[in-house]
Structure 1
Amino acid sequence: MPSWLIALLAAAFVLYTDDYVIAGILPEISSDLQVSEGQAGQLVTVFSLTVAVVAPVAAVVLARLPRHRLITGALLVFIAANGLAAVAPSFGVLMAVRVLAAVAAAAATPAIFAFAARQAPAGKAGRYLAVVSFGVTGSIAAGVPIGAWIGGTFGWRATFAVMGLSGVLVVLAILVAVPRGQEHDRTLGLREQLSILLQRPISLCLIANCSLMTGSMMMLTYLAPYLATVSGAEVEERALAFGLAGAAGFIGIWLGGTAADRWGADRALLFGISAIAVAMIVLWLIWFGRPVPLPIVLVATTVWGGMAFWNAPAIQVRLTSFAGPLAGQALGLNTSGTYLGVSCGAAIGGLALAELGVGALPLISAAFACGAVLLLACARHDSMKGNHAP
């Protein structure tokens, strides 16, 4: 495993931790800046929406900039934003610098994944993308708890200070380890880029990822009430369920990347998404048999967690094959779709919870997964007819 790949993994870890870590220090921010926890929580919303909007725009506008320079520059902005957050005198100022940090993350994230895919040896793009994706899973499993501990022990400002220092270390690693080639996306005008990115195979693949994320995040957002209802799970048992799903995610990312390289992205995605649909149907059937012993439920939720992460490198491999020299732009759109799916999952899940009850969520999630399979099948059919970028 080359050192530059580890540097990119570290960059992904820091960038995604910066987004999620707010959840662990909401009480401290709320108390110190004299806002409600609900208002403080909007820092997460603003960050995610900014990434969703800016990522595809930045990928297109900055396409001619060498990837190494783009990643380094974005991380420098990220460092400055976290330094300002650590000394923010008011909630309004903190909100503004969080938007700045999100803009930096939106510019860097697609470039990081595109660089990994292009620099990977032949037949190993899936595994290289899986390694970088470990940073995403690690941010949830380790970054957020560490950030929350720092915030609870030394104050929320210390969390942002540590994020800024972490950014400095990552920039140094990038400068030392990442090759400085003129690796950038094909020099095309805006209209030409859009004509390629809006072709049906790419569009269908992007919508499929958004659909898959919507279904998965719908279930993840409301997993706690589901577990409490079907098995009477207490706080510790619910934490165990999330922990097992996260651990399975680490394994799933690597196996999914390996499968994409060995089987091809289409077969890997069919297997991974089908496994999610089956796990959701099992959870739906469990609902009718409640109360159900927790270990039985944990098997289904752990499989689901692993398969949810399994699909990430595979769908990135598929997008890079469809987009060709515009892989960075396509992955920027994919980042946007991922964040949009997270938002839609929480919103649609909340409506379904209120109208149909928590027992309906697994079946709705399975429907979104099946929709993703159909969309990817259509994308593959179109690509075989030659309707994609060379």
Structure 2
Amino acid sequence: MPFVVHLLGLAVFAQGTSEFMLSGLVPGIARDMRVSIPTAGLLTSAFAVGMVVGAPLMAILSLRWSRRRSLLTFLIVFLLVHVLGAVTTSFGVLLATRVAGALAGAGFLAVALATAAGMVAPHAKGRATSVLLGGITIACVVGVPAGALLGQLWGWRSAFWAVAVLSVPAVVAILRAVPAGGSGSARPSVRGELGALRDRRLLVTLLLGALVNGGTFCTFTYLAPLVTGVSGIESAWVPAVLALFGLGSFLGVTVGGRIADTRPVPFLVAGGVALLIGWVLFAMIAENPVAAIVLVFVQGTLAFAVGSVLISRALYAATGAPTLAGGFATAAFNVGAAIGPWLGGIPIGAGLGHRSPLWVSALLVALALLAAGGAEMVRRGTADPHEDPAMT
């Protein structure tokens, strides 16, 4: 694996930290900016919206540039808006930096996925994808608690400075290791890549990714009240439970990256079924603290293993649109991350308790399995005898 791919993963780690770190910084920001906590919470929503909208739009914009120029532009913008966020005294400016940072981060991830896949052997795209996604999962385990600690020690602004500093090595790596001409082939056209996105396999993969990730974040968002209110775990242990989920997710993307290049379809079937069973089992025995802790780790592993394989399959399925495939995959997974918590909050608001998001997660995964089964039935009914079944 080229070392530059790992440094691109470091940049993704910084971006993942930026996305999730506000969970521990909102109270300090609210005090400093003299706004309410719900108003400060809009900073998280702004980043999420920026990721969903920005991934495909920035990917289209990047088609006019070489991959090195795209990566440098997005990463430098991301770095600078965090410097601006660290020094501003205006909440409006800070909110704008979150949107701009998300747009730049979404564009960077889309191009980085295509760049990493283009720098490895054709059969190693899954491993390259796992390195980048590993940056996000490590952010959950290390970056978010570290950001909260910096906020406690030196104020919330120090966390923004840290994110900017973490981005610098990747800037240097891109300048030194990514060819100025991109992948060395003719620069793709917007029309050509958009045409390739009509591929049925890619569209199904994006739908499955949104559903699976929706199920993941549906429960993850309400994990703290679930384990404290239902499982009876002391609130002091919540950070450890969240870290355990993060460790499972890191293991999942690592294992999933290797499987994605060898036997992706059997794994997606088996992993999807196991994920569904896990959510149902978790919902049924959530009051058992030992079982809850085990299932937090297991479900984190399964969810991110299946998710990482789906992202790599998007890149495999859209060889004619590698950049936009990465952009739309990023958007699809962020759609899941946005819709999942909303769906999980509906039964909680209806008085069904903090166990209810587990059932919603199970429902979303079941819908993904049904969608995959329906797509396979359609494929068999219209199959080209020369089509490679491993790509479906």
TM-score by structure 2 length? 0.91
Tell me the distance in 1 between the aligned counterparts of 2:181 and 2:375: 32
1:15-54 paired onto structure 2 within 5 Å:
15-54=15-54
Look up the match of 1:277. Answer: 276
Residues 118 and 375 (structure 1), Cα distance of their counterparts in 2 relative to 1, 3 Å cut:
farther
Look up the match of 1:325. Answer: 320
- Secondary structure at the counterpart of residue 46 of structure 1: helix
Deviations 1:125-175 (A, max 9, x none): 212211121100111111122222222222222222222222223211222
Look up the match of 2:220. Answer: 220
Cα offset for 1:90? 0.9
- Greater Cα shift, 266-275 or 83-92: 266-275
Look up the match of 2:205. Answer: 205
Is this contact kept in 2: 1:202–1:379, CA < 8 A?
no
Look up the match of 1:340. Answer: 335
Does residue 374 (structure 1) correspond to residue 370 (structure 2)? The answer is yes
Paired residue type of 2:361 = S
Deviations 1:104-137 (A, max 9, x none): 1121111111211222224222122111211001
1:137-152 paired onto structure 2 within 5 Å:
137-152=137-152
Tell me the distance in 1 between the aligned counterparts of 2:376 and 2:136: 27
Is this contact kept in 1: 2:16–2:136, CA < 8 A?
yes
Tell me the distance in 2 between the aligned counterparts of 1:188 and 1:277: 39
Does residue 309 (structure 1) correspond to residue 304 (structure 2)? The answer is yes
Residues 226 and 56 (structure 1), Cα distance of their counterparts in 2 relative to 1, 3 Å cut:
same
Q: Please, which runs of 5 or more residues in structure 2 have no aligned partner?
A: none
- Secondary structure at the counterpart of residue 123 of structure 1: helix
Tell me the distance in 2 between the aligned counterparts of 1:270 and 1:184: 36
Residues 271 and 64 (structure 1), Cα distance of their counterparts in 2 relative to 1, 3 Å cut:
farther
Structural RMSD (CA): 2.3
Tell me the distance in 1 between the aligned counterparts of 2:276 and 2:285: 14
- Greater Cα shift, 184-193 or 25-34: 184-193
Q: Please, which runs of 5 or more residues in structure 1 have no aligned partner?
A: none
Cα offset for 1:227? 1.9
Tell me the distance in 2 between the aligned counterparts of 1:65 and 1:285: 52
TM-score by structure 1 length? 0.91
Residues 379 and 67 (structure 1), Cα distance of their counterparts in 2 relative to 1, 3 Å cut:
farther
Is this contact kept in 2: 1:277–1:369, CA < 8 A?
yes
- Greater Cα shift, 159-168 or 254-263: 159-168
Deviations 1:204-260 (A, max 9, x none): 211111111111111111122222343211113333322222112221111111111
Residues 98 and 313 (structure 1), Cα distance of their counterparts in 2 relative to 1, 3 Å cut:
same
Look up the match of 2:160. Answer: 160
- Greater Cα shift, 140-149 or 49-58: 140-149
Tell me the distance in 1 between the aligned counterparts of 2:225 and 2:110: 34
Residues 239 and 172 (structure 1), Cα distance of their counterparts in 2 relative to 1, 3 Å cut:
same
Is this contact kept in 1: 2:208–2:310, CA < 8 A?
no
Paired residue type of 1:144 = V
Cα offset for 1:192? 4.3
Residues 185 and 241 (structure 1), Cα distance of their counterparts in 2 relative to 1, 3 Å cut:
farther
- Secondary structure at the counterpart of residue 120 of structure 1: coil
Does residue 286 (structure 1) correspond to residue 281 (structure 2)? The answer is no
1:95-244 paired onto structure 2 within 5 Å:
95-183=95-183, 187=187, 189-244=189-244
Cα offset for 1:3? 1.2
Identical aligned residues as a percent: 30
